[in-house]
Structure 1
């Protein structure tokens, strides 16, 4: 056989069958006239076997190379070790390395092999091998180079050992291993990841000392770290320096800046940068990428700017950035978070039509939102949609449904879902059972709660402190405070068995007092009891429980004291709350921002503005900076005392100077103050500022409409209502009925007709009483056809109102308010039955073809005392 090339050629022809190639190689190697085996043929065979994961054959290859007289074992083993390292095969590479060291101890392996083995040992989390290899390296007299140091420093930085990494960095110049750009990149990234960006900045400035040029990767790491820690000014300075050095920021740089602004709640400022990236090509700015769009979408959704987010989604679709399931999931989360549940459900259907298959997370997002809004019936329909897509619910889906039913106070239906979950092979756990237990206690069903506790104990789920706290809290809320206190007192001796005082005989026989891990009351247990005692006005007993906590060795933090402070303030006892604050200081417990905000709220209710100012000064002395809640309460206090110009407005400016972004509440309080001054121009100017700062919020428009209406400026109120209708906002909090009456009284029936038709055409849900004055006006001027059409629309709206509990566009609170509105004196029915000779009532009643309230969905019920089939059968 011709020499080497033919052996490689033979192996190459058998590449599709690695085992055959190996057998050929081994037979030819030990034949009477073997071919010349070269390092290239060994490399080829090694890669061939590794790709097909034939590790035993690689071990056989190592042993074969040791036995071949025609090839130097040291050379072949060294080459095989390096090849295996390049393939990230640590164990075979280490085996070859050890064979090399034992067979040829005089042969010094190259630094490249040591570095590769160290890198793989750290990569696969084998620190014991690092010590072994490094010791061998030192004994062989092989000096580490910059690359080796970089390997060690990366491991140290990844594990958070930044001081050790810095120590190694400082030693590098002394050992003739000058750091390179990778060294600086590793250190800067490590410090930034662990929130120490200013130290990373110092390392960054050392690059010039070692004549290492800064690059975009290191700069972006540092900008990311600075922005993450909200050191925006430092990040801006670095960007300016980059430009001066001729290093232009790329899309990653801009994404870091936008992320930081969104995280700080400055979404509109972030959007300004995003818009520049889209439009301003003259400045040479990078175009936004998928990450940029996703960051902005998250930011808008987080701040509740749904209209802006919707426009962004349209832009993403037109630019091809809305084709991944991850992008759809972001938008689904945003819609759900902001109560746009009908749109979220429609988006699931849209995904399938666009060829983007929803994953289990997509469905769970929508199901979770529907359940939290109390619309479990529609969550069930999404579950059916999921199954149509050949996707089975997981334990998250079932647990979410259980929580949904429990939130609605329907523990029996929750139990049925739990039974269904078990039948599909999912085990109920403590978390799931605790949810159901909490719901039963919330319903006041202590008997079933007791039975559930017995089953949990019988199945070995373990009644931990969370379970005990749920029971104690449930008893407190069911008026059985003394029984809850009795359980807490007994827990010190009997642990969770103290729950047996509920009447559960099985639990009563259990005594885990000798168990080192027995269930004893904790800080949260006492917080529940203290809160319940304060709510009942039993402050003396609550204080005794506080003393008992200290005596039992349970740490008392500001949260426990906050219970007292909030309760005193709620009952108008601000002086007592301030005494608690002083007691905290004497007991070495530092008050929190929450503590001070409770006190500021209490003082604001008493209109004690000077005391609030003094308290905020004390906060700053304690190193606690006021937040938006602190400022809002003080601004409200000044506005209520008609000091909006002299004190409230300067306070607003101070808040801006301190970098605290105003929210909707801030603007509403200030605008209300200027309405009362009155200064309508300033109020309107603040309203425009609020829109640019907080976005197009429904609350702002409804508030302005109400204020204009209250001061008799009906034309401005109408403008606000018209804009809100155009934007599709709910008109529930707008004085639309009064405005329609006003228009009709002034014989502007056409304007009133246009307004109510706009509301109806937009699909808004509102009180049918709004139709009555317009129908009256149309009848009075003889427009019978239009009046009859409007009457039909009124009946349709009334039907929608009755069915509102089953519509996805409403949540529970709105349902209750609408029901109250429909039944209140002066409601649309009262107007309909009046006897004023208009004939409107008769015309409308003739169109009634169905009774009211006949669309109820039956509530599923379980057999009493048969809550759960505990054994999974799937």
Structure 2
């Protein structure tokens, strides 16, 4: 047994002393005098100590100043630089300051940093995307006499690929005395990102042995470019050489196929993985499910996504907030706001904590709908305390208000951000700058620039590109080109010609970055030049871009193809396609779609078929846009019998037709008066695309166009039963058409259905039905409708009424006496019918206390009249 220890009685706590203010610790005594310099290893130890703790970083600057006062600062500078560059916590700018101090020493004391120090500086510059700094550091390394190693050259290679300078990257790669797998992977990934997967395959062929990571990169690149056959061949080659494709390989294929719109093909691969139909197939992991879910949501296939979500629940793949966010984003983007709210409740029930991104998905999705009342509703949601708004939340609100031109509300959001202590970032200001600049609100732009200057923000390359794009859109293309020319020498200072408010935003940091033109800058210029038909100048800009070591990508070639096709120069567009192939850029599905669109505009169906055959031979998959162009070409030429089989061909190729596909066929069949065929296409469209309002409205409008009133009425009734808004339906024309066709009972039943379903509509819609019922001797029904009309009109005075819409080309009866939809025209028309007189008298006596209807409506704001007549 251990003896019990007696504890002393507790002492009284010492009196509270005021904590002294913390001061930076003084430098060690040996460093206090230049006469007694410490050994370099002491400087190295102290530098590492200060670099490890962010609170000691201010002392690093003092240490640097003290070292520079020593008789021989070179070894101490090198020790400080080595410690600072090795710590990720030390800002890059301080390391660069120490580096410049070391390189500025006079000749006898000059000691260049060793290669590992250069490597750390290069890696830090690459991490901050300061690609120009990477290049200048590499040149300094060569001038200093230091020997670059494989790691050094790999960093340079990665920077060149990130800048899109693939030709120079290839020359650097070829000149490397030694390479490793990372060297091959960097170059292959660069080619794939530039849309040159065939060149990436060539890099893979040069490897001493196949590498799984590089193979996965090239497979994903081929899939992104629509060259699925090439990807499949590479996967088979991997198997033959004993390199089993893993789940990353399949995830890359599925992701690329989904991004290319080939969701059904991606799902086939996913299903094979899930059911393990083939030996050696990996099982899907969390990434596989998430990618497939995003693919369904992006394609609008909500029902399929819902089934997948149920599978994920059962399999335990719906437990992370990231997966919920994907499904939530899909619901919001497809207009399923109610389901999104239910999903938030489910997350709370399952113990999954929503993050700020979760709420920002809802905010951003609602704001992008572009409806002002939704933006106000989102503001209420933000202020309800459910979420803590951050800079992303406020930026979404700003974008929504700017898209509606509501600058007052946007400024109010900026003020609220300041009150909440949520500082806008440069992206926020760029969103505002882009919106105002596109709208031509130069005064607000200048105020915004002044505000940015007051907050210490400076222009970056993105800001410059926004300004250049705005100049191109506002027919100031020549000024935009002059600014781009000056940017190569002056950076963002070139914007000074637009006013002092621009040049005031150029700080020392922006000058160091120089805001040089990039690929986006030149793409913007060439796109504007091609739109104006200035193709020779666009070609000169392309050559200039290449001379500046900025490699063009497939988007730039597509810009030329689109420009030529827009001006009817399809032969020149074909030449661009062939030149694109010669330069090593594989045309994508988009490239061919632009060409096919050009031929479709000229009704050249045979040429479209040839291009589609060429796509098939090259392993480039067609998509729904490809087929829609061909369908439209056939339909516009009256060859709907050739267009109809394309639906079956699309489904056989696992391409889902969209609303446009079915709409083209419905219009074509109605035009040749084959309404039964149009009805069949409509039924297939509903089963394929879902019960969408646009399909019902389209079918109803087309039937009304050709006076098929009974069929149009049936479609409208179905839409009413499904609670679809009839705001955009031509319901007034249908009722008038039924009355003209002596189908007053049908019009009467449709009107009663409107009332029963609680729809708001123009009271003038009652008039043709009342007249028709009166003419057929059904006075009682006419009187009931008259009373209902007055009741509805009484409730709608001063408010906008929903009116019918007649599309261009519809057979609207110009002589129709019921074509008006406001009470002024209705009550003051030249009509001697007894019913009209009775209604007019009742209205005047019933509303006598408010005066005459005409006089009352003249007092209303003009906006009300516009709303009533716009539907």
Same fold per superposition (TM over 0.5): yes
- Which residue number corresponds to residue 719 of structure 1? 714
1:552 maps to: 548
Contact 1:450 1:502 in 2 (8 A): no
1:673 aligns with 2:668: yes
Measured at CA, do residues 638 and 550 of structure 1 come closer, stay the same or move farther in structure 2, by a change above 3 Å?
same
What's 1:479 paired with?
475
Match in the other structure for 1:699:
694
Aligned to 2:487: 491
**Structure 1 residues 378, 628: closer, same or farther in 2, change over 3 A?**
closer
TM-score by length of 2: 0.58
Contact 2:293-2:305 within 8 A present in 1 as well: no
Counting only pairs closer than 5 Å after superposition, residues 166-181 of structure 1 correspond to structure 2 as none
Alpha-carbon distance between aligned partners in 2 of 1:700 and 1:506, rounded to the nearest angstrom: 49
- Partner Cα distance (1:343, 1:799) in 2: 36
**Is the CA contact (8 Å cut-off) linking 2:247 and 2:285 kept in structure 1?**
no
Q: Does 1:786 align with 2:785?
A: yes
Q: Is contact 1:639-1:670 (8 Å) kept?
A: yes
Q: 1:241 to 1:340 in 2, by over 3 A?
A: closer
SS at match of 1:787: helix
Q: 328-337 vs 531-540, which deviates more? A: 328-337
Greater relative contact order (CA < 8 Å, ≥ 6 in sequence): 1
Distance change in 2, residues 1:518/1:844 (3 Å):
farther
Instruction: Assess if the C-alpha contact under 8 Å between 1:737 and 1:770 holds in 2.
Output: yes
Deviation at 1:802, TM superposition (A): 6.4
Q: Secondary structure at the match of 1:426?
A: coil
Tell me, yes or no, if structure 1 residue 290 matches structure 2 residue 289: no
Q: Distance in 1 between matches of 2:795 and 2:352?
A: 37
- Alignment-derived partner of residue 262 in structure 2: none
1:212-252 C-alpha deviation (Å, 9 max, x unpaired): xxxxxx9999998997775666666677778999xxx9999
Cα offset, 1:494, TM superposition:
0.5
- Within 5 Å, give how 1:397-436 maps onto structure 2: 397-436=393-432
1:801: how far off?
3.0
Secondary structure of 1:801's counterpart equals coil
Stretches of structure 1 that go unaligned for 5 or more consecutive residues are 11-159, 162-186, 208-217, 276-286, 296-320, 805-812, 814-823, 857-874
Secondary structure of the residue that 2:513 maps to in structure 1? coil
Displacement of 1:491 after TM fit? 0.8
Per-residue CA shift, 1:245-302, capped at 9, x if unaligned?
Answer: 9xxx999999899859947959589489789xxxxxxxxxxx967368999xxxxxxx
Contact 1:430 1:461 in 2 (8 A): yes
Alpha-carbon displacement from aligned partner over 1:500-538 (angstroms, at most 9, x marks no partner): 111217727969799553111112112222223333444
* Per-residue deviation, residues 274-331 of structure 1 (Å, max 9, x unmatched): 89xxxxxxxxxxx967368999xxxxxxxxxxxxxxxxxxxxxxxxx9xx99999788
Corresponding position of 1:61: none
Judged with a 3 Å threshold, the aligned counterparts in structure 2 of structure 1 residues 773 and 434 are, in CA distance, closer, same or farther, namely: same
Aligned equivalent of 2:747: 752
* 1:505-544 equivalent positions in 2, closer than 5 A: 507=503, 517-544=513-540
Residues 135-182 of structure 1: CA distance to partner in whole angstroms, max 9, x if unpaired? xxxxxxxxxxxxxxxxxxxxxxxxx99xxxxxxxxxxxxxxxxxxxxx
Q: Deviations over 1:766-823 (max 9, x none)?
A: 555434323444566434233121333256467553699xxxxxxxx9xxxxxxxxxx
Instruction: Give the aligned partner of residue 207 of structure 2.
Output: none
For residues 554 and 356 of structure 1, the distance between their equivalents in structure 2, rounded to whole angstroms, comes to 46
Residues in 1 aligned to 2:758 and 2:317: alpha-carbon distance in whole angstroms: 30
In structure 1, what is the Cα distance between the partners aligned to 2:860 and 2:350? 40
User: In the alignment, is the contact (CA less than 8 A) between 2:302 and 2:331 conserved in 1?
Assistant: no
Superposed counterparts of 1:34-183, under 5 Å: none
DSSP-derived class of the 2:615 partner: helix
> CA 1:794–1:327 in 2, change beyond 3 Å: closer, same or farther?
farther
Aligned twin of 2:681: 686
Question: Matched residues in 2 for 1:294 and 1:827: separation?
Answer: 56
Q: 1:490 to 1:760 in 2, by over 3 A?
A: farther
Aligned to 2:800: 801
Identify the match of residue 573 of structure 2 among 562, 571, 577: 577
**CA pair 580-844 structure 1, distance change in 2 beyond 3 A:** farther
Gaps of 5+ in 2: 5-183, 186-210, 221-230, 258-264, 808-817, 848-852, 865-871
Paired residue for 2:703, among 695, 704, 708? Answer: 708
Residue 651 (str. 1) matches residue 646 (str. 2): yes
How far 1:448 moved relative to its partner? 3.5
- Number of aligned residue pairs: 608
CA–CA distance in 2 between the matches of 1:505 and 1:188?
53
**RMSD across aligned C-alpha pairs, in angstroms?**
5.3
Work out the CA distance in 2 between the residues paired with 1:270 and 1:506.
50
Other structure's SS at 2:389 match = coil
Contact 1:415 1:436 in 2 (8 A): no
Give the Cα–Cα distance (whole angstroms) in 1 for the partners of residues 622 and 386 of structure 2: 52
Cα separation, partners in 2 of 1:465 and 1:795, compared to 1, 3 Å: farther
Displacement of 1:852 in angstroms is 3.9
Alignment partner, residue 464 of structure 1: 460
* 1:730 is aligned to 2:725: yes
CA distance in 1, matches of 2:328, 2:366: 12
Distance 2:536 2:737 in 1: 56
Deviation at 1:612, TM superposition (A): 0.9
Paired residue secondary structure (1:729): coil
Kindly state the Cα deviation for residue 607 of structure 1 after the two structures are TM-superposed: 0.7
> What's the CA shift for 1:655?
2.4
Q: Which moved more, 1:605-614 or 1:686-695?
A: 686-695
Which of 559, 562, 567 is 2:563 aligned to?
A: 567
Q: How far is 1:719 from its partner?
A: 1.3
Q: Of 601, 607, 614, which residue of structure 2 is paired with 1:611?
A: 607
Aligned to 1:597: 593
Alpha carbons of structure 1 residues 650 and 197: separation in structure 2 relative to 1, 3 Å: closer
CA shift in 2, pair 1:663/1:294, >3 Å? farther
Per-residue deviation at 1:465?
A: 0.6
- Choose 835-844 or 691-700, whichever is displaced more: 835-844
Counterpart residue number, 1:67 = none
Q: TM-score, length-normalised on structure 1? A: 0.58
Structure-1 separation of matches of 2:436 and 2:248: 51
The residue aligned with 2:496 is 500
Partners of 1:752 and 1:774 within 8 A in 2 = yes
Distance 2:753 2:375 in 1: 31
Aligned to 1:638: 634
CA drift of 1:493 comes to 1.0
Task: Report the CA distance shift for 1:537/1:612 in structure 2 as closer, same or farther (over 3 A).
Answer: same
- Matched with 2:434 is 438
